[in-house]
């Protein structure tokens, strides 16, 4: 229970990787606040965690809305205490070839994936600086490192998250705050389950470990990065991709 008494906010926590990360942090003793635009889904996940003996709550948050982000962090500070852990997991895709990509799809993905990480990190860092401790983990992606056809907006947003991670890590390290990123490869989630089996098998051929990753693989990495076991690690990008990119 190395995260006992820690307050963690996980954005995009209602389902998928965000849900699994939340469950892992709870298992390590944290009280997890699941932030999501889908409040009903976030509350259902929180109720499930509580039913299983964990500590969790839910809050509606549109990470691209500056005022809503400020309000959420202010409410957490008022109701509980400063945020100890922030996991910027909220993200969306709007895929398409760049030459045909709608500007609105570009803006939407960048606003949620990158601007959202900036806004939440900004508010979290302000609270963490006062207590001179804290950990932020940004969820990037393998495509933010290597690019991917049909995902110019998503790749750019996730590459931006890496730059944001490294810069913020330099700015707040002296205040006892660590900032790292996790870049998952192809993970077995709702997003990859809709792929046709031949497409999935072709993807697996490019993975040295010859299998998709599991959400738990990402969650355990996040739990390590927010714990004292990684107390001398900051500004790093941890690739969780089965060797697909080395």
Q: Which residues are catalytic?
A: 154
d(CA 112, CA 225): 23
Task: Sort strands 177-184 and 31-36 into parallel, antiparallel or unpaired.
Answer: unpaired
Strand partners, 90: none
Q: Name the residue with tokens 């495509």.
A: 143
**Phi-psi sector, 243: left (phi>0), alpha (psi -120 to 50), beta:** left
What's the DSSP call for residue 14? S
* Inter-residue contact 203 to 2 (CB < 8 Å): no
Computed on alpha carbons and rounded to an integer, the radius of gyration of the chain in Å comes to 17
| Continuous segment of H or E residues that includes residue 126 | helix 116-131
Q: Tell me the torsion sign for CA atoms 99, 105, 108, 109.
A: negative
Q: Which two tokens stand for residue 167?
A: 């810069």
Q: Tell me how far CA of residue 51 lies from CA of 24, 56, 77, in angstroms.
A: 15, 10, 25
């Amino acid at each position: 229970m190395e995260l006992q008494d820690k307050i963690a906010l996980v954005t995009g926590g209602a389902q998928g990787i965000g849900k699994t990360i939340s469950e892992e942090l709870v298992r390590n003793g944290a009280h997890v606040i699941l932030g999501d635009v889908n409040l009903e889904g976030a509350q259902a996940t929180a109720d499930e965690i509580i039913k299983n003996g964990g500590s969790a709550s839910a809050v509606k948050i549109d990470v691209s809305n500056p005022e809503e982000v400020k309000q959420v962090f202010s409410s957490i500070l008022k109701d509980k205490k400063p945020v100890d852990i922030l996991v910027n997991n909220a993200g969306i895709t709007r895929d398409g070839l760049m030459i045909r990509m709608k500007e609105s799809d570009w803006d939407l993905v960048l606003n949620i994936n990158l601007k959202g990480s900036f806004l939440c990190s900004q508010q979290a860092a302000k609270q963490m600086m006062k207590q001179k401790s804290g950990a932020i983990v940004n969820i990037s992606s393998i495509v933010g490192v290597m690019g991917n056809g049909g995902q110019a907006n998503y790749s750019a947003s996730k590459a931006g998250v890496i730059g944001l991670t490294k810069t913020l890590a330099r700015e707040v390290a002296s205040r006892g705050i660590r900032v790292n990123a996790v870049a998952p490869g192809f993970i077995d989630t709702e997003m990859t389950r809709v792929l046709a089996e031949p497409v999935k098998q072709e993807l697996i051929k490019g993975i040295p470990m010859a299998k998709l990753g599991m959400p738990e693989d990402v969650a355990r990495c996040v739990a390590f990065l927010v714990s004292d076991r990684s107390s001398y690690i900051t500004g790093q990008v941890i690739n969780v991709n089965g060797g697909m990119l080395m």
